[in-house]
Amino acid sequence: MIINSRWGNVLKDVWKDSLEISFELFKVMIPVVILVKILQELGAITVLGEWLTPLMQFLGLPGYTGLVWATALFTNFYAAVLVYINLMGDVETLSIAQVTVLTSMMLFAHSLPVELRIVQKTGPRIWSIGLLRVGSAIVYGYILHLVQSSMGWNQQAAQLVWEPSPIEPGIANWVLSEIENFFWIFVILVGLVALMKILDESGITKFLQTLLEPILRVLSISKQATNLTVIGITLGLAYGGGLILKEARSGLLSTKDIYFSLALMSIFHSAIEDTLLMLLLGADWVGILVCRFLFSFFVLWLLVKIVGHWSEARFNFWFWHQTT
């Protein structure tokens, strides 16, 4: 009876926490999703794609890929993939090297209106994380372009393995699609909260913290933020950020804990699903996963070296805002 009562309380906590986290996330995400849809209908994303053309050419990519990255920046991977596939019918096929550069940039910086708002809600200043993501995308894309072109790597034509089904036109179909997305986000959040409770109760949390502490200590991420960071890296910023939002309000994490954890999540997250999707476009897995992982950790290590020793007051002045 004691065991049943204990796990019954755990289940109640899981449900309560899941509802609270989902409410906070959806309160942020729904208005932004609507705003992005309006901008998309007004043609703002197409204009941004045209502005990005010179940059894409500098990175060894055709100018039209600016529209693909602009779509990823403002909406999501799936919309960007559809744009890419539609454009491919009228242009020459990209090489594996070019697809690897393009998809790596998309992995670093995508869905910015939604994901940056989630980050901002937890405390960090939106400009710093936004600059970190876009800057990392451009720098990594340029390094990847230089290395692959100079070494003659991945110059053969990329093979498209999968094409997503397009959403039927019309506002009603778009609304239904978004409702389905939010439903699955909620389901996954419930699973994640339950998993974290099980890990806590079974002692696995302490084991993982001990295992990862030496690596994350170098990046100024404490034991308390270890599990949340791992969840963000593997499953996505919305989930990791949502859990951090809850922990931030509990007062268990310092501002630097939250900032550096979210910074790492921002430039390297959803390593499983997003990476698989980019592989299906014909990208090279070493470039979009292994090298991107190493580059992301180097970027965060460099950031910690530069600002990690700052006083709390100075750090908060530049990188933190009062949460609402």
CA atoms within 13 A on the CB side of 142: 7
Average pLDDT, the chain: 83
Greater confidence, 290 or 3? 290
| pTM greater than the 0.85 cutoff | no
Range of the domain at 67: 2-319
Are the C-beta atoms of residues 106 and 278 closer than 8 Å to each other? yes
Dmax over CA atoms of the chain, in Å, equals 68
* CA separation for the pair 223, 210 (Å, rounded): 8
324 in a domain, yes or no?
no
Q: Are 323 and 251 in contact (CB under 8 A)?
A: no
Q: Please choose, from the candidates 65, 81, 76, the residue with its C-alpha nearest in 3D space to the C-alpha of residue 164.
A: 81
Residue-wise pLDDT for 193-238, tens only, equals 787 777 777 777 677 667 777 777 778 787 777 777 877 787 677 6
CB atoms under 10 Å from CB of 76, counted, come to 18
Q: In this structure, are residues 270 and 106 in contact, taking their beta carbons and an 8 Å threshold? A: no
For residue 110, the one-letter residue type is H
Number of domains in the chain: 1
For residue 188, being part of any structural domain is answered with: yes
Question: Could you tell me how many residues make up the chain?
Answer: 324
pLDDT tens-digit readout, 115-163: 898 888 888 999 999 999 999 999 999 999 999 999 999 999 888 776 5
pLDDT of amino acid 322: 61
> What is residue 90's predicted lDDT score, i.e. its pLDDT?
54
Say if 308 falls within a structural domain. Answer: yes
The percent of residues above 70 in pLDDT, for the chain, comes to 88
Q: Grade residue 324 by pLDDT with cuts at 50, 70 and 90.
A: very low
pLDDT surpasses 80 at 85: no
**What pLDDT, in 10s, does the model give residues 39-62?**
778 888 888 888 999 999 999 999
